[in-house]
Chain A
Amino acid sequence: MSSVAKIIGQRLLLGLLTLFVISVIIFTAVNMLPGDFAQAVLGQGATPEAVAAIRRDLGLDQPFLVRYWSWLSDMLRGDLGTSFAQANFATFTGNESQAGATVMAQIGPRFENTLFLAGVTAMIAVPFAVGLGILSALFRNSAFDKGANVFALTSISSPEFFLAYVLILFLAVLNPILPSLSNIYEGMGMGERLQRTLLPALTLTLVVTAHMMRMTRAAIINLLASPYIEMARLKGIKPMRVIVRHALPNALAPIINVIAINLAYLITGVVVVEVVFVYPGIGQLFVDSVKIRDIPVVQACCLIFAAAYILLNLMADIFSILSNPRLRHPK
């Protein structure tokens, strides 16, 4: 086991290093965005003095490296900073405590919602896609296989909003079994929350299924010419068991990696679906913050997205390693 622990340790360190490099890229890129918060807020009536005052207040006049360092060190202490927009708002209302003004307060509940949606989607999509992949590998080149492929490719090729409206049409308008609005809020019961999340989750399932299903099918079929598969067949094992017991365990590594990429997409790339269903996720917040140049929020979102990608890929790596008996049980 020590070799596995060592590999995992290495991957963790590598993940942290990647995150650091990404933080530099994010900070640089966000700083290169045209315009700044002061100008965006003051609009057409911006006088140079007012702009300079706001910039000074927010520390935007400091040199680049100083700003980066203070952002990074705050970040390491778990302080995501103060939202420009909310800070401003707080001064206007005389609420000096700034309790609602931190980036954390902005992102926290939104991110929870995003994770909830991603989780519900994953619980439907992963078993569905892998199961469909196994079945289409089992009945390869049959009508079922072709049908499953056409279905998966059609749904991945259609725009997300289109899939969303089709589902709304069938499941909310023609057969009103699910609500078409997913405006969930804090304190909502679990059942209701689930019910409202189901339509966006189904839409996203249609989007991510194709990739996972086709990888499962390809990874399994790739192994069917192996001598140990032939051996299993020559032992008189039934085709389903040949695939599930003999092919699948050896095909896990590529499947796990594709699942990880799709889960990361669910956390970072679902703005369109959020907009269609009015779902209060992190995607909408991110787009709004870019619009008004609320830099701390934008940076924090970017960093969360990057961390999600790195973490999921790291987990995929670890599970792939664990799926290899050579590494789990060294000689």
Chain B
Amino acid sequence: MGERLLTITDLRIEGRADEQWIPIVNGVDLTLDKGEVLGLIGESGAGKSTVGLAAMGYTRDGVRIAGGSVEFDGIDLVNAPLMQKRALLGKRIAYVAQSAAASFNPAHKLIDQHSEAPVRHGVMRKGESEEDAIELYRRLRLPNPEEIGFRYPHQVSGGQLQRAMTAMAMSCRPDLIIFDEPTTALDVTTQIEVLAAIRDIVEQFGTSAIYITHDLAVVAQMADRIKVLLRGDEVEEAPTRQMLEAPQEDYTRSLWAVRSFKRPAKPAPAADAVPVLSVQNVTAGYGKATVLRDVSFDIHEGRTVAVVGESGSGKSTAARCITGLLPPRSGQVELDGQALPLDYRNRSKEQLRQVQMIYQMADTALNPRKTIGEIIGRPVEFYLGLRGKAKRARVEELLTQIELPPGEFIDRLPSELSGGQKQRIGIARALAAEPKFIICDEVTSALDQLVAEGILKLLARLQDDLKLSYMFITHDLATVRAIADEVVVMKDGEVVEQGPKADMFTPPHHPYTDLLLSSVPEMDPDWLSELLAERGRDNLGDAAVGSMD
């Protein structure tokens, strides 16, 4: 420690939009010592990834460094010739991307991609580099380290790929690694394993790192210092403990506060109440594979049932069975005590109207060529038969309900809206059918915490106003805490535990629920170390591997 490795001074970066250069980063200063880990935190659009890439002297297409300097170990990366920069990249500065699944080349084996940098930079020969790769895989606690490198990316799970990518970044033993949201796309139980692996290997080799994330609790485990960015400006910077205990700026405090949003659970429904929606012994699958096994749960009027589980646990498949997109092999779905036809094609318009859906990716769920008025107007016309002025009036009313001024939004295209606004349009489209029951499929997981909180509050208000029932699919337990009345925990296509939220969050738990709950990072820099000590390394490895496959 102590020796300076990276100095960024007054870095200004611009991006090209509509034939103009628009500032993205407005004069950020940053320093990093050898062996130090700096956490870079902020919401999307804060410029964290752009700063991270600029620290490598790299900008994406349509982005340029407009001013300031980036000095890596005495080398000026802004003005260095391409050849000189290329000789540093991969060798002395390495990068770990957000989605390992997208950042490994699908056409080549992992180990060939691993050894590419060492061989090309003349650090090692192919054979040496392969042996080294296996050693790194072992240190990162990948299963079958001898063999896993000889697979193609699609043959390896997400958490394993992320560790293989960290191994790849380590291949030339760089001085600096940029970690760009390496665990954002992973399940909580997998995230722990990757975090622990990254932290260990960075410590072992004394590598400096910039750790970019939007998750405070994660950065608290990884970083020595934290820097907060907001829309290309620095908000504040402090050592991790100090930042967590006494944030100075309002914005930082608001980030801290998001996780405190919590609505009390509603009183239990009457024992003889007919559930709005009842899933009964549903078994379903694709082709030969069975994805859901004997799943049952009820959702009562005005209540929210959160369905939680990791990816592959069957949450979304359950939603497809309810909407009739995937007719179950056995079991049935009842709406107000009446069995729904299993296939949506056999359902009446009235039955279809009652069950609506809000999707995870508002970006892809809205037709980019239709205006907001047309998108919301379509179900208004289709289900309620309103046309002309009546339709427009209803669309305006819906926009008001989702807290967007109608005059401003009704004629805009989805591409002109922010992520949170798009998700609100998704909600309005579901409301347009005037349904009783809405399935929310990971509706906040693509959003920043502040924006996500706004969406959750809106959904809660709409539920009170309109007596809506929600099935809330999520893998984020903070969201469950915030909004659910009841919780259904799924694993490998089966319900492992279900009950009121209060029961779910108080022991004793089902062992799997326990694993899920304890894996959610907490805003305590010692959380990860304590958890690892408590679980014991070997147990942790087994649990994470078991849950991944």
List chain A positions with a Cβ less than 8 A from chain B: 225-228, 230-238, 241, 245-246, 249-250, 325-326, 329, 331
Chain A CB within 8 A of B107 CB? yes
The answer to whether B89 and A329 touch across the interface, beta carbons within 8 angstroms, is no
Query: A236 to B58, alpha carbons, bound, how many Å?
Result: 11
The answer to whether A235 and B89 touch across the interface, beta carbons within 8 angstroms, is yes
Q: Point out the residue from B61, B87, B95, B99 that lies within 8 Å of A225, measured CB to CB.
A: B61
The answer to whether A234 and B95 touch across the interface, beta carbons within 8 angstroms, is yes
Query: A236 to B90, alpha carbons, bound, how many Å?
Result: 5
Chain A CB within 8 A of B88 CB? yes
Query: A235 to B87, alpha carbons, bound, how many Å?
Result: 9
Instruction: Find residues 108-123 in chain B having any chain A CB closer than 8 Å to their own CB.
Output: 108, 116-117, 120-121
Chain B 496-514: CB-based contact to A (< 8 A → 1; otherwise 0): 0000000000000000000
The answer to whether B102 and A228 touch across the interface, beta carbons within 8 angstroms, is yes
CB distance from A325 to the nearest CB of B (A): 5
* Contacts A236-B120, A326-B154, A329-B152; A228 near B105 (Cβ below 8 A): yes
The answer to whether A235 and B117 touch across the interface, beta carbons within 8 angstroms, is yes
- Would you give 18 A-B contacts (Cβ < 8 Å), ordered by A? A227-B102, A230-B97, A231-B95, A233-B89, A234-B89, A234-B94, A234-B95, A235-B89, A235-B94, A235-B95, A236-B86, A236-B87, A246-B107, A249-B105, A250-B106, A325-B154, A329-B154, A329-B155
Chain A CB within 8 A of B415 CB? no
Q: Point out the residue from B60, B61, B90 that lies within 8 Å of A237, measured CB to CB.
A: B90
Query: A235 to B107, alpha carbons, bound, how many Å?
Result: 17
Chain A CB within 8 A of B539 CB? no
Which of B53, B60, B61, B154 is most buried by chain A, counting CB atoms within 10 A of its CB? B154
The answer to whether A250 and B105 touch across the interface, beta carbons within 8 angstroms, is yes
Residues of B within 8 A of A228 (CB): 102-106
Chain A CB within 8 A of B91 CB? yes
CB distance from B78 to the nearest CB of A (A): 17
Residues of A within 8 A of B90 (CB): 234-237
* Contacts A227-B97, A231-B95, A231-B103; A238 near B86 (Cβ below 8 A): yes
Query: A228 to B105, alpha carbons, bound, how many Å?
Result: 5
Contacts A225-B61, A237-B86 given; 18 further ones with Cβ under 8 A? A227-B97, A227-B102, A227-B103, A230-B60, A232-B116, A234-B56, A234-B94, A234-B95, A236-B87, A236-B90, A236-B91, A236-B121, A238-B86, A249-B105, A250-B106, A325-B107, A325-B154, A329-B155
The answer to whether A249 and B154 touch across the interface, beta carbons within 8 angstroms, is no
Residues of A within 8 A of B117 (CB): 235-237
Nearest 4 pairs between A and B by C-beta?
A: A235-B90, A236-B89, A249-B107, A236-B90
The answer to whether B116 and A235 touch across the interface, beta carbons within 8 angstroms, is yes
CB distance from B170 to the nearest CB of A (A): 12
Query: A241 to B95, alpha carbons, bound, how many Å?
Result: 19
Q: From DSSP, what is the main secondary structure of chain A's interface residues?
A: helix
The answer to whether A230 and B103 touch across the interface, beta carbons within 8 angstroms, is yes
Residues of B within 8 A of A249 (CB): 105, 107-108
CB distance from B480 to the nearest CB of A (A): 31
Query: A250 to B154, alpha carbons, bound, how many Å?
Result: 14
Query: A235 to B102, alpha carbons, bound, how many Å?
Result: 15
Complex: chain B residue closest to A237, CB-CB: B120
Complex: chain A residue closest to B92, CB-CB: A236
Complex: chain A residue closest to B87, CB-CB: A236
Which of A236, A237, A246 is most buried by chain B, counting CB atoms within 10 A of its CB? A236
Query: A326 to B104, alpha carbons, bound, how many Å?
Result: 13
Which of B89, B97, B105, B117 is most buried by chain A, counting CB atoms within 10 A of its CB? B105
Query: A231 to B107, alpha carbons, bound, how many Å?
Result: 14
Query: A226 to B95, alpha carbons, bound, how many Å?
Result: 15
Complex: chain B residue closest to A328, CB-CB: B152
Query: A137 to B91, alpha carbons, bound, how many Å?
Result: 26
CB distance from B101 to the nearest CB of A (A): 9
The answer to whether B152 and A325 touch across the interface, beta carbons within 8 angstroms, is yes
Query: A263 to B548, alpha carbons, bound, how many Å?
Result: 47
* Contacts A325-B152, A326-B154, A331-B154; A234 near B104 (Cβ below 8 A): no
Instruction: Find residues 416-439 in chain B having any chain A CB closer than 8 Å to their own CB.
Output: none
Query: A156 to B414, alpha carbons, bound, how many Å?
Result: 40
Query: A234 to B99, alpha carbons, bound, how many Å?
Result: 15
Query: A325 to B104, alpha carbons, bound, how many Å?
Result: 13
Complex: chain B residue closest to A325, CB-CB: B152
Residues of B within 8 A of A235 (CB): 89-90, 94-95, 116-117, 120
